[in-house]
Amino acid sequence: MDYNSEGEFLDEVEKCFKENGFKTWREEIPDKCKGWEYPYKADLIVWREDVGYIGVEGKNTNTLRSGGKFAKAIKQINEKYRPNTFFNGILIKKWAVLVPLTTIWEKHNEENSNLLKNEIVLFLRGFLKVSYDISLVEYYPESEWLEKGIVIDGYLQNPIKIGRKNKWRG
């Protein structure tokens, strides 16, 4: 699925979080930046009692070859958001990058696209977590068989799975 803007993409993901019992905040300003003329703004922060706070930096792209966008997201998280507190003193411990998992390759060769996408996603999960302690948020739109859902740290230790239930099993 292609998104016209980062905002449109984040709207859809935020809706999925809300439908699964999360509180959400968009463009949240860290405590120390509140009086700045151009404050830092975290794209999305989500919270649920059993999960805690997760800060999310979203990047809209239609290709997983956008290394520069990943680098910018990592830099924003590590330099602007992670060292600061939010909501009058809360230090958010889990930060994540969110990008669409659909690509322009799917329009040309779906079989190779899925294989390539899976390999890139597997690489990104481990690379982000081990190198930077940053999670990968994977958003899956509704399909014929499954409800929409989110996976954070998929196939790593202690993944967080939200939604994505089978429509036909009740």
* pLDDT value of residue 114: 63
* pLDDT value of residue 86: 98
Give the closest residue to 91 by CA, choosing from 81, 101, 100, 99: 81
* pLDDT value of residue 104: 47
Considering the domain boundaries, does residue 13 fall inside one? yes
Considering the domain boundaries, does residue 147 fall inside one? yes
d(CA 41, CA 147): 30
* pLDDT value of residue 128: 92
What are the average pLDDT values for consecutive 10-residue runs of the chain, which has 170 residues?
78 96 97 96 97 93 70 94 97 93 56 66 87 93 90 89 83
d(CA 35, CA 85): 14
**Domain that residue 105 falls in:** 6-163
Total domain count, the chain: 1
* pLDDT value of residue 69: 82
C-beta of residue 96 within 8 angstroms of C-beta of residue 137:
yes
